[in-house]
């Protein structure tokens, strides 16, 4: 990333591999991660230099093929970001913002829309993954969405489906939720199911140098289980901007303005006249520092990292980080079973002072230690 002037507000967010000291020799090779989410897009970080999307299934349009992923709408954002956070290769960032499982294959399952994902539709998506696990070699399932209500895993069909997936050899990872700032901060299905690895959040400042709690959901489930099991970065996570959207157009212009010399600023503004009323209004002032102040404010407000990435927050993005660690572990030791992956993640996690145990579970995920533990088990 180029050096920027004093007015720049583009945050220097480090890649997850650096923040968590991951072993970059492992990239989820030979492992397939499935994702349940509101929608998806065939982002270049997943499709270049070759397409790693093994399958796409839309619960509401079962005959839709991979070509449906070339079309974007509001529902495409969330699943595109979660899948790329875990398995993107950073194609649009020269490899800078790549996930830990950047060579894993992915299966994308649409279970909702931009504004709503229904409890029972998550169950239906889970059942599809179970049915097709052998066909696509699915070893990990990431669920960055939650159900509508609490219910015991003994009676809840969604929780029972999640536990069944684990019994069938799939490591199920789910976001704990973001209700930790509320009085009612319960963890909902499927994250509340016994075999599911529920992931809470950590605020590491984007550099891995601090450890503050994120407002993740936490606490005892109806069945008396303590959730989450582990935590991972849930703030300052680099994620892709949906190509072809007004957001992408704006981000690219802001990046170019931020990188431009003073004598280039007004040429760029003139070339993009009519795209942003606020920039148009200030362009006529011909005072570079005023333009840079406005650009800095917009970069900050839009959380823009570059013309192709922004930083996002939520346990929706902590969960795929853990899913990518599991893919690394399975590359190191393909024979690992779900309960063994779960145990390794928990026993190698690092407890963090200043965060209560009920919020962090066993602590912050430690990719390098987890992969090494997986390798040791393989040698036995």
Q: Which residues are catalytic?
A: 37, 78, 316
Question: Is 31 in contact with 106 (CB distance < 8 Å)?
Answer: no
- Cα angle vertex 364, ends 362, 369, to 5°? 95
CA dihedral 47, 52, 54, 56 (to 10 degrees): -40
SS3 assignment, position 17: helix
For residue 315, report the phi and psi dihedrals to the nearest 5 degrees. Answer: -65, -15
Structure tokens at 328: 């690394």
Residues comprising the chain, all counted: 380
- Cα angle vertex 341, ends 371, 361, to 5°? 95
CA distance 57 to 141: 14
> Burial of 86 by CB count in 10 Å (0-12 exposed, 13-18 middle, 19+ buried)?
buried
- The helix (H) or strand (E) run that includes residue 311 is strand 309-312
How many helices and strands (H and E) does the chain possess? Answer: 14, 12
Rg of the chain on CA atoms, in Å? 21
Structure tokens at 319: 């969960």
């Amino acid at each position: 990333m180029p050096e920027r002037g004093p007015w720049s507000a583009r945050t220097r967010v480090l890649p997850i591999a650096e923040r968590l000291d991951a072993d970059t020799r492992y990239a989820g090779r030979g492992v397939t991660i499935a994702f349940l989410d509101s929608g998806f897009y065939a982002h270049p970080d997943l499709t270049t230099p070759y397409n790693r999307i093994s399958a796409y299934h839309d619960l509401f349009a079962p005959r839709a093929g991979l070509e449906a992923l070339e079309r974007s709408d509001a529902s495409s954002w969330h699943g595109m970001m979660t899948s790329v956070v875990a398995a993107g290769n950073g194609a649009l960032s020269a490899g800078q913002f790549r996930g830990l499982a950047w060579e894993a294959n992915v299966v994308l399952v649409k279970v909702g829309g931009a504004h709503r994902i229904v409890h029972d539709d998550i169950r239906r998506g889970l059942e599809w993954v179970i049915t097709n696990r052998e066909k696509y070699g699915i070893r990990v399932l990431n669920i960055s969405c939650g159900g509508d209500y609490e219910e015991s895993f003994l009676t809840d069909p969604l929780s029972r489906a999640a536990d069944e997936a684990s019994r069938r050899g799939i490591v199920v990872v789910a976001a704990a939720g973001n209700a930790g700032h509320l009085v009612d901060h319960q963890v909902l299905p499927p994250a509340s199911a016994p075999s599911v690895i529920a992931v809470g959040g950590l605020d590491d400042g984007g550099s891995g140098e601090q450890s503050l709690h994120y407002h993740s959901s936490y606490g005892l489930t109806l069945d008396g289980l303590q959730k989450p099991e582990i935590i991972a970065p849930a703030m300052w996570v680099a994620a892709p901007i949906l190509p072809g959207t007004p957001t992408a157009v704006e981000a690219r212009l802001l990046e170019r303005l931020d990188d431009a010399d003073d004598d280039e600023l007004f040429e760029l503004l003139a070339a993009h006249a009519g795209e942003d009323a606020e920039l148009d209004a200030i362009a006529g002032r011909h005072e570079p520092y005023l333009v840079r102040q406005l650009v800095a404010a917009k970069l900050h407000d839009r959380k823009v990292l570059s013309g192709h990435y922004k930083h996002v927050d939520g346990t929706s993005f902590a969960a795929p980080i853990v899913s990518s660690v599991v893919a690394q572990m399975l590359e190191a030791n393909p024979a690992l079973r779900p309960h063994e992956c779960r145990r390794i993640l928990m026993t190698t996690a690092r407890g963090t002072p200043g965060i209560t145990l009920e919020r962090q579970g066993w602590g912050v995920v430690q990719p390098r230690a987890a992969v090494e533990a997986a390798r040791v088990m393989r040698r036995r």
